Structure 1
Amino acid sequence: MARRRGWGGNPPDSDEEATRRIVDTAVDLIGQTGSAINIADVAESLGVIRQTVYRYFPSVDALMRAAAIASVDGFLDRLTQHVRGIEDPVDAMTEGVVYTLAEVRRTPHLGILLTGTYSSLHPDGITSDEAQAFGVMMINRFDVDWERYGYDDASLRELVEFLLRTMQSFFVSPGSPPRSDDELRRYLRRWIGTAIIAQKDLPASF
Structure 2
Amino acid sequence: MKRFFFALLLVILTVALLVLCWAASVGRLALPEAMPWPFATVTLPADYPARPADLPRADVVRVVDGDTVVVTVDGAEARVRLLGINAPETRDPRRPVQCFGFQSSEAAKALMAGERVWLEADPSQSNYDRYDRLLRYLWLDDGRMVNLELISLGVASEYTYDGPYRYQDTFTQAEAVARRGEVGLWSPATCKGRFDSAVVPTPSP
**Is the shorter-chain TM-score for this pair beyond 0.5, marking a shared fold?**
no
Report the structure, 1 or 2, having the larger strand content: 2
TM-score (norm: length of structure 1): 0.23
TM-score (norm: length of structure 2): 0.23
Of structures 1 and 2, the one with the larger relative CO (CA 8 A, separation 6+) is 2
